[in-house]
Amino acid sequence: MKLKGRVAIVTGASSGIGRGIALELAQEGAKVVVSDITEVPKQGKYHEQDTTTPTVAEIEKLGGEGIFVAADVSAESQVSALVKASIDGFGRLDILVNNAGIYFDTGAVTTSSEDWDRLIGINLKGVFLGVKYALPHLRQSPAGRVINIASVHSFGGGGGPAYASAKAGVLNMTRDTAVEAASDGVTANTICPGYIETAIQDALTPDQVELANKMTPLPRLGLPRDIGRAAVFFASDDAQWVTGTALPVDGGLLAPVMPGY
C-alpha cells in the first residue's frame, strides 16, 4: 500500500471525481476525511445514475477507514472546522485534495455577478481556504501533499468565463503554493481532467456529450478512478520530488492540433 497510515482530506467527495479520488486513496491505505455539502451522492442523467451508497460506506467495504464532515468550501469558518475535525478524528493530516467545484457555462453577458461570485467562491477561493488551514498541519507531516483539481479548461477558453478563469487560477495558485511550501518538503500539484463520467455533466446536452466522446482520442471517456490513480501518484513517495506541475488526465483531449479531426 502506497499510502498506509496517512490521512487525507478530499473535498467534494460524496460523488464524482472526489468520490473516485477518496476510494483510490483508501485502497492504498489512507484514512480519508470525506467532505461535501451533503453525504448523499449525486445521481446524474448521463452518468452515476446508480450511485447511492455514501463514500464512507464504500471506503469501509474496502477495509479502510473514513469519516464524513459536511462543509461548504467557500465558507472560511467551515473549512477551518473541516481541518480541525480531521485532526481531532485522526490526529494528523498528510494529504489535502481540493476537488469541490460547480459548473455552469453561461457567457460573459448572461452570467450574473452573483453566479460569478458563487462559482469563484467554491472553485477558487475554496482552494485557497483549504491550503490556508491545512498547510500548517501538512508542514508537520513527513509527506505533506496538496493536490488541486483543475480542468483542461485551465489551458484555454470554453466552459464559460467564471469556470475557465477559476480553473486557470487554480493552476497558478498551485504553483505559488509549491514555492511557498517547498522548504518544508510539502509538494503541490494540479490534476486537469478532461471529460469524466460524473453527474456534473448534466449541464451538457446529448450532442455535447457525443462531441466530447468524438474529440477524445482514446476510445472511451474518463472515469473518476482515472483521476483517483493520478491523485495516488501525487500523494505517494513516487512523487516526492514533483511539485508545481499540472497533469492533464484527459484521454489525449489536448494532444491534437485539431481536436476531433
Q: Please spell the DSSP secondary structure of 137-173, one letter per residue.
A: HHTTSTT-EEEEE--GGGGSS-S-HHHHHHHHHHHHH
- pTM of whole model > 0.85? yes
Backbone dihedral angles phi then psi of residue 66, each to the nearest 5 degrees? -150, 160
Confirm if 58 and 49 have CB atoms less than 8 A apart. Answer: no
- Three cell numbers written together for 38: 451533503
The model's confidence at residue 158, banded by pLDDT at 50, 70 and 90, is: confident
- Give how far Cα 211 sits from Cα of 27, 237, 261, Å: 33, 38, 11
Active-site residue, from 103, 133, 163, 195? 163
- Whether the predicted pLDDT of 243 surpasses 70: yes
CATH fold group of domain 7-248: Rossmann fold (3.40.50)
- Three cell numbers written together for 107: 457567457
pLDDT value for 166: 97
CA 6 to chain centre: 18
Number of H helices, E strands in the chain: 8, 7
Confirm if 143 and 215 have CB atoms less than 8 A apart. Answer: no
pLDDT value for 259: 66
Confirm if 133 and 57 have CB atoms less than 8 A apart. Answer: no
Instruction: Report the candidate in 19, 10, 9 with the shortest Cα–Cα distance to residue 199.
Output: 19
- Three cell numbers written together for 61: 467495504
Q: In the annotation, is 46 catalytic?
A: no
Cβ-based burial of 204 (10 A; exposed 0-12, middle 13-18, buried ≥19): middle
DSSP 14: S
Domain boundaries in the chain?
Answer: 7-248
Distance between CA atoms of 123 and 162, rounded to whole angstroms? 9
Q: What is the pLDDT of residues 18-33, one digit of tens each?
A: 999 999 999 999 999 9
Residues 6+ apart with CB under 8 A from 45: 202
pLDDT value for 116: 96
Distance between CA atoms of 34 and 27, rounded to whole angstroms? 14
